[in-house]
Chains A and B, each alone.
Chain A
Amino acid sequence: MNSFEFYNPTRIVFGAGTIDTVGEHTAKYGKKALIVTTRGSVKKLGIFDKVKGSLEAQGIKTVELSGVDPNPRLSTVYEGAEICRKENIDVVVAVGGGSVIDCAKGIAFAAFDDGDIWDFWACKRVAKKGLPIITVLTLSGTGSEMNTNCVITNTDLDQKYSTHYAFSFPKVSIIDPTLHTTVPKYFTGCGMTDTISHVMEKYFDGTKNTPMQDRIAEGVILTVIENEGALENPDDVALRANLSWAATMALNGLNDSGRGSNDYDAHTIEMEASAKYDIAHGAGLAIVHPAWLEFLCKKDPEKFVQFSKRIFNLEQGNMSDVEFGLAGLKALKDKFNQWGMPVTLKDAGIPKEDLETLAYTATQAPEGSYLVKDEIYNVLLSCYE
């Protein structure tokens, strides 16, 4: 185990019906709120109106920004920041999934800056403060409701980068699993894949002596698998609750504490692809992550052996450690496939001739500087078809 710091001050309010408390929680942070949300379902399903009503019942004035896309754009962050300044916004309320929350985090600190804000993602400048953020989660997967990550896409540069400022922890995140019952099967599968992918990034980072962290990671993965029934029974709030809470725990720092300093390599590789081809993040991970892990397993299979045993209860028999590790990864790929996730880059519509460029751009990301282009290229090739 390595030395580490753990800090996570987000207050989680979890459970059926908790959406009604958003006004009361927001009131502690101001009188005027910017509600950030998507175009579609949040409004159609009446979630937006519920949030707005709850805020107004507490005397909070609201302004709306409702055009956040999946893979949220830098242009939307600019737009939101401008509104915050013009309207003297006190608090940002994000109603949505990871894209909306990430966008809200970006807006909350961009509101204090009138320069070229991409500097913060490109690590050219450091932001100093942000408006307080309240979130109402409508789709579990990214874990953004209980971390500092803020992933934004710059479409001009085809870049998708993240910031990690302590002030980006939401003050309060409301996780009401009844809101998740309308999430379509495909996006539920994406969220489940994303959750598993988050814990695996660190679980397989090669750090020795992390038994407590490993049990948490394995617990997250097992919980997702054991609650996969949500794909067939989308209205089952108990299953939704378990998937939600596992997703939040997957990326709130607990699993990372004491592990190595790699920066979510499969995510770095995948983010280049989803930035350029606008594919769902979880779907991209379902393809890229197992391929990346096969590459790691061949180098050092130790943790993969543990994974095959503890997650899939496989028997090693006469298999070598590498073969046994790969058998576990095969079982994982089968799960993703069973959940309706694409299994090849070709399925996801990525042209073969672009792999070389994708591999190169991954090594150019601020968090991918130590990645080796040829290795990434071979990994991408191995999951092409």
Chain B
Amino acid sequence: MRNFELYNPTKIVFGNGTISRIGEVTAKYGKKALLVSTRGSIKRLGLFDKVKKTLLNAGVDSIDLIGIEPNPKLESVINGATICKENKVDVIVALGGGSVIDCAKAIAFAALDDGDPWDFFIKKRSPKEDNSLPLIAALTLSATGSEMNFNSVITNQKTRQKLATHFDMSYPKVSIIDPELQITIPKFFTACGMVDTIAHVLESYFDGGENTPIQDRIAEGIVLTVIENESVLDDLENTANRANISWASTLALNGINTAGRENKPLYAHKIEHEIGGTYDIIHAAGLTPIMPAIFEILCKANPSKFKQFNERVFGADKNMDPLKSGLEGIEKLKQKFVKWEMPLKLSEAGVEKPGLDLIALNASKSIKDELFSKEVVTKILNDNF
């Protein structure tokens, strides 16, 4: 186990019906809110109006910023920050999934800064400590874990970059996780969330570090919880399954799984971010085609953790040959993706061939690991195209 720091001050309010507390929770942080959300289903289902009304009943006026898209854009951040400055907004309320929450985090710090917010993503400047508006999140799609971490991933379409910031001030003050809000999520997006959750823990779990028994049990617990609740895909309105998957998803990226690990680059995420920067695809749909191939390379280099994975998650026999067992575990994981109807080819996810070379180049530059040179990444992309 490596030395580590763990800090996570987000308060979680979890359970069916807890969305009704959004007004009371937000009112502690101000009287004027920017309500950040997507254009689509949230408005249609009346949730947006309900939240607005609950805020108003608690004495909080809200200004709408709707239209945040998957892979949130720098333009939305700048636009949101301008609204905050012009209207003296006190608090940001994010109503949505990871894209909305990530975007809201960036708006929250951009609102108190006069320069170009992209500077923070390319590390040209660091923001002042605690120089951010407070953020309240109401989660409508479990996947990214953004509701309980400080990650903000933003896409700059001009430079074709998808980059993240990680500031202590970006932890949401409060995140409301109401599993009932998730019963309307279609099957495909539910599966995407499940994949994203598993990907978050496994990328760190397979980082080659040793002596991390409690972290491993937590990671395996998250993967097992997702798998054991997969019936939600055929029973979308089951709030018990939704609740278990939601909580597993939040714990997957709130720091407890990574504490004490090696903190190497998340290879699949790095490559997917390059893909996502070029092609506007769904994050998880970009992960499932490439993640098994990446794990196979890691397994061949050192199979011991993959063997443990196959034993503890899929019940494999402990006497199996390590490499054979490890590869079998990866294959079983892949079969889960198939069962959940996730794409296993990049072309199915909406990626086009011409961009692959540049994606491979940028990804290998950002990973900086000899196991994943440009040639290797190119092969992974082509093999799974």
Contact = CB atoms under 8 A, between A and B. Distances in A.
Contact of A238 (B211, B216, B218): B211
Interface string A62-103: 000000000000000000000000000000000000000000
Contact of B248 (A9, A15, A212): A212
User: Chain B: interface secondary structure?
Assistant: mixed
B229 interface: yes
B225 A6 contact: no
Contact of B1 (A1, A216, A226, A242): A242
Contact of A209 (B16, B217, B244, B251): B244
B211 A242 contact: yes
Interface residues of B, number: 40
B3 A218 contact: no
A245 interface: yes
Interface stretch (B4-12, B117-125, B371-379): B4-12
Interface centre among A6, A9, A227 (most CB of B within 10 A): A6
Contact of A15 (B2, B12, B211): B2
A10 B243 CA distance: 26
Interface in B232-254: 240, 243-244, 247-248, 251
A13 interface: yes
A345 interface: no
Interface string A1-24: 111111111111111111000000
Contact of A1 (B9, B228, B243, B256): B243
Contact of B225 (A215, A220, A223, A238): A215
Nearest to B17: A3
* Chain A interface residue bracket vs B: 35 or more
A6 B10 CA distance: 8
B189 interface: no
A226 B217 CA distance: 12
Contact of B213 (A4, A6, A9, A227): A227
A4 B256 contact: no
A258 interface: yes
A4 B14 contact: yes
B3 A15 contact: yes
Interface in B1-39: 1-18
B214 interface: yes
B14 A212 contact: no
B250 to A, nearest CB: 9
A211 B244 contact: yes
B259 interface: yes
A222 B216 CA distance: 11
Contacts of B224: 211, 215
Contacts of B243: 1, 209, 258
Contacts of A14: 3-6, 259-260
B11 A212 contact: no
B256 A15 contact: no
Nearest to A220: B214
Given A238-B1, A258-B14, A223 B240 contact: no
B136 interface: no
Contact of A257 (B7, B14, B228): B14
A136 to B, nearest CB: 15
A14 B218 CA distance: 18
Nearest to A1: B243
A218 B18 CA distance: 28
A297 to B, nearest CB: 23
A15 B3 CA distance: 4
Interface in A235-270: 238, 241-242, 245-246, 249, 254, 257-258
Interface in A361-383: none
A208 B344 CA distance: 36
Contacts of A340: none
A6 B14 contact: yes
Interface centre among B8, B16, B213, B229 (most CB of A within 10 A): B213
B11 to A, nearest CB: 4
Interface centre among B6, B8, B17, B243 (most CB of A within 10 A): B6
B222 interface: yes
Contact of B12 (A7, A245, A249): A7
Contacts of A227: 213
7 pairs of A and B residues whose beta carbons are closest in the complex? A3-B15, A15-B3, A215-B221, A219-B217, A9-B9, A7-B11, A11-B7
Given A245-B260, A249-B256, 9 more contacts: A4-B15, A6-B11, A15-B260, A209-B240, A216-B221, A219-B213, A219-B214, A219-B216, A245-B1
